[in-house]
Structure 1
Amino acid sequence: MQPLFQPIVDLSTRAVMGLEALARGPAGTALEFPDRLFAAAHAAGRLGELDMLCSERALECAVAAAVPPPLLFVNAEPAVMNQPLSPRLIELIDRGLPFREIVEYTERALPALPGSAMRIAGLAQEWGNGLALDDVGVDPMSLAFLPILEPEVIKLDMSLIRDPHTAHAGAVCALVRAEAKRTNAVVIAEGIETEEDLHTARRLGARWGQGWLFGRPARIDHVDHQYDPEAARALRPPRPGFHQPAGTPFEVAARHRPASPGTADALAAASARLRDLIADDDVSIVVASSPDAGLAGITVTPQELAGRARSVILLDNPIPDEFAAAVIGPGYGYAMCVRAADAVELVTLDDLPAVAAVTRVLLNRQG
């Protein structure tokens, strides 16, 4: 394994802010390029091992570089998330990296293994590193996961640069700009090959970019860049614990809005709102927890919760005495949380960041 590295630059100054590591197999063989390499690993049942090895090699090469980059972007595939980190990877990180590692999630990673994705996100923050969400714009699900993950970096898919005048591109970039402004995330445009692409990327809201205009992938010992010494500090500081909020879904919801009595009318109204949302074609994610025996007054069933969502996650380890359901689509969210202890209490949320916080609690209870 000999990874290649491609520069990521500031679109205003063209200063190099960091490198993205790109997996490559043995040079000159049929497995040199990642599509065949990962397909072969999948067929052999060793995809997770290969992905872990790619991460190890990326860190090893960057650590050994004469001038390490300030930021190193490393991809994380779903297959690697449901296994422990390798001893070698932990060793490299524990020694102290001379750069800030940015773990890149694809939109496939989050719905496939949400609990593991949250766990690795939490580790990245504890170790002082960061997160990026890749391929944003290919599927509405990536937009729905943005407020849940709250990455330091949002990467626009190159299809938006190639066809920037469509209604889809406009809607995606408007949502990304709003989320970046709210969370202080940096937006990166991929696939910049010409000066026209660069101007398009800036019009769409990107601050940084990567593509052949700034450099093709190369071995790190062939990389000759002057790095911006402030690049690592250009990203938001780490937030340990953000992806593993303390408490149950109801307790987290009640921090954002006081609980009210769970009367029959209030529960019926909240359930009706939930039904309306999950019947909508635009719903991307539904995450829910319901006791096996149900709760009095809750008439929404797990089958209804599936609705038309692109990703439905029903907890197989529900919270006793609590019902919680969160619905998130591009730019909106709704959560209904009920606790039936001494009395029935209800919290409903339609503020997207608050709904995302409840969703993170739920996802942390899922494998």
Structure 2
Amino acid sequence: MQAQDRPNIPLPATAMSPSVSVPVPAPLRPSSFRSRVSWVGRTLAPRSRRAATIAPAAFDDETTEDITAHTAGGAWAIERVLAERAVEPLFQPIVELHSLRPVGVEALARGPAGSAVQRPRALFAAAVAAGRLAELDTLCAERALEVARGAPVPPPLVFVNAEPAVVDQPLSARLLELMTDGPPFRMVLEYTERALSSRPAALLQLAAAIQAHGHGLALDDVGADPMSLAFLPLLEPEVVKLDLQLLRAPHAPRTVEVAAAVSAVAEQTGALIVAEGIETAEDLANARALGAHWGQGLLFGGPAPIERMAPGEAGAAAVLRPSRPGLHLPAGTPFEAAAARGKARTGTAEAFAAHLEHVLRRAGSGAVVLASCTDADTARSWLPSLHGLSELAAFVGLVAPVHPASVGPNVHFAPGPSTVDSATEECAVVVVAPRYTAALCGRGTRDAPAFAHTEDRALVASIARIILQQLPR
């Protein structure tokens, strides 16, 4: 990270900086790890946060008035759609950008032709109004796979969208059957970072299920929100889809930053990059310049019935990285994961504090910051810093045995297991940012502490997933 990129953040008070006075509400018992994160001051206004709801722009170009008109009579219509399974998906081709040969299709949901809910925006708005969004989302996925399987020449890859608001729903028996009963293609489940930020544990469970059955994952709209870049190393999707607005401003600093970050992740993980919204020859040139491998858009064809899709390259599915079952749900604790890689060392409370200051100093804008702790006193002493960081970071999460009322609204929280006074304490702090990745884990008592500090990206991502999967579903 360049010096000018580092936030000017007052560091936590520690045993190494006694000049900083920090009031505490009550005496805390001695701890190897409490020390040392007690306060991070901020004078920033709360950053804006994307709501974990349906984004109207995600569907069609219908107006708000259209949706309002349809929703009034859409409740009965959505009941009929679900009862009759009356979703007829269309498909849009995805092509390899140099040969322009098709490699797969993306399924796009449509309601019954001629009905008030034919267009996807009205269809999903009606489902939300009727409280049936989860059922509609599942039906859309089922119908996409059913229709693709029935094609004269099934495509090698079928991209299916997952609605972030309902990723905590279990896979239906029909969907599991379609995924596991020898499908003639690989499915790629496509979702946005909003799903992870709103229901991280649920999305990791879903990702694990998809990988266990040999299918792949895609992260959509990358570049639309800084959070998507921060989550890329944690998700490690097979496909990264660039937000279509990047093509419209290919030389803008933000576009160049996103393209560089995505290309770095692709080089490290083997992910494929897809550019969306390619409509002209200029868009195609821009997509290639941004490092995209594949693309989709009206230049190659709009949504159409599966029978009108050209046969895809037979080896396209094999181009995607093989599935990795177990990646998203690692077992054990953060310290155990670090120790298994030979990262643990003996130390002192002061050494842990120094490393903690180093890690937190780098937690700038757009970072994912995660913390876990088995000691309530330690967790309470960390809360002011986590609250301060939540005004700057993309996502802050905490798993600890403290009362929920003590945790600020911008910190994603789950109660965690607690140690008793005589037991061994364990804690961890993870920072995942576009330019910096680190994890610090500790285990022991004040007289016998051990800790691990690693900046190995793969190990840090695994430790982050251990914490994320404990957050609310």
Report the TM range for the smaller structure's normalisation.
over 0.9
Match of 1:313 in 2: 397
Q: Given that residues 331 and 352 in structure 1 are in contact (C-alpha distance below 8 angstroms), is that contact kept between their aligned partners in structure 2?
A: no
Match of 1:249 in 2: 334
Tell me, in whole angstroms, the C-alpha distance in 2 between the residues paired with 1:277 and 1:45: 43
* Structure 2 residue aligned with 1:259: 344
Q: What SS does the aligned partner of 1:93 have?
A: helix
Could you say what secondary structure the match of 2:376 adopts? coil
| Aligned twin of 1:303 | 384
Which of these residues, 322, 345, 362, is aligned with residue 450 of structure 2?
A: 345
Aligned counterparts of 2:276 and 2:100: Cα–Cα separation in 1? 14
Tell me, yes or no, if the aligned pair for 2:154 and 2:311 is still in contact at 8 Å: no
* CA distance 1:303–1:57, change in 2 (3 Å): farther
Give the number of aligned pairs.
362
Name 1:102's counterpart in structure 2. Answer: 188
TM-score by length of 2: 0.73
User: Does residue 248 of structure 2 align to residue 162 of structure 1?
Assistant: yes
Q: Deviation per CA, 1:210-264: give whole Å up to 9, x if none.
A: 000111101213x230310000101111111111222211111223452122402
User: Structure 2 regions of 5+ residues with no counterpart?
Assistant: 1-86, 400-413, 419-424
Look up the equivalent residue of 2:236 and give its one-letter code. Answer: E
Moved more, 254-263 or 99-108: 254-263
Corresponding residue for 1:271? 356
User: What is the aligned partner in structure 2 of residue 44 from structure 1?
Assistant: 130
Equivalent-residue separation in structure 2 for 1:319 and 1:70 (angstroms): 45
Q: Which residue does the alignment assign to 2:317?
A: 232
CA contact (8 A) 1:286 1:309 kept: yes
Q: TM-score w.r.t. structure 1 length?
A: 0.93
User: Which range moves more in the overlay, 153-162 or 35-44?
Assistant: 35-44
CA contact (8 A) 1:337 1:348 kept: yes
Q: Which moved more, 1:251-260 or 1:192-201?
A: 251-260
Structure 1: which 5+ residue stretches go unaligned? Answer: none
Distance in structure 1 (CA, Å) of the matches to 2:123 and 2:380: 49
- Aligned match of 2:467 in 359, 362, 366? 362
RMSD: 1.8
In the alignment, the residues of structure 2 paired with residue 39 and residue 338 of structure 1 have an alpha-carbon distance, to the nearest angstrom, of 47
Relative to structure 1, is the Cα distance of residues 335 and 351 closer, same or farther in structure 2, using a 3 angstrom cutoff? same
SS in 1 for 2:193: coil
Check the 8 A contact 1:141/1:329 in 2, yes or no. Answer: no
Structure 2 counterpart of 1:65, one-letter code: A
- The CA deviation at 1:151 is 0.7
Query: Superposed, which structure 2 residues align to 1:95-134 within 5 Å?
Result: 95-134=181-220
Say which SS state the counterpart of residue 353 (structure 1) adopts. helix
| 1:74 counterpart letter in structure 2 | V
The whole-number CA distance in structure 1 between the counterparts of 2:116 and 2:293 is 37
Larger Rg: 2
| Matched residue type, 2:319 | A
* 8 Å CA contact retained: 1:324, 1:336: yes
Q: What is the Cα deviation at residue 82 of structure 1? A: 0.8
Query: Is 1:331 matched up with 2:435?
Result: yes
The residue matched to 1:14 in structure 2 has which SS? coil
Moved more, 6-15 or 252-261: 252-261
The amino acid of 1:309's aligned partner reads A
Tell me the secondary structure at the aligned position of residue 313 of structure 1: strand
Amino acid at match of 2:217: L
1:94-131 Cα shifts (integer Å, max 9, x gaps): 32211000011112111111111111111111101001
In 2, the alpha carbon distance for the partners of 1:352 and 1:332 equals: 9
Matched with 2:166 is 80
Indicate the larger mover: 211-220 or 35-44.
35-44
Distance 2:110 2:444 in 1: 54
Counterpart residue type for residue 358 of structure 1:
I
User: Tell me, what secondary structure is at the counterpart of 1:26?
Assistant: coil
Deviates more, 1:14-23 or 1:238-247: 238-247
Aligned-partner SS, 1:344? strand
8 Å CA contact retained: 1:271, 1:299: no
Aligned identity (percent) is 52
Q: Contact (CA 8 Å) 1:262, 1:345: kept in 2 or not?
A: yes
Contact 1:52–1:80 (CA under 8 A) maintained in structure 2: no
C-alpha distance 69-176 of structure 1, shift in aligned 2 (>3 A): same
Query: How far apart, CA to CA, are the structure 1 residues paired with 2:366 and 2:397?
Result: 13
The Cα shift of 1:84 comes to: 1.2
Match among 280, 290, 294 for residue 373 of structure 2: 290
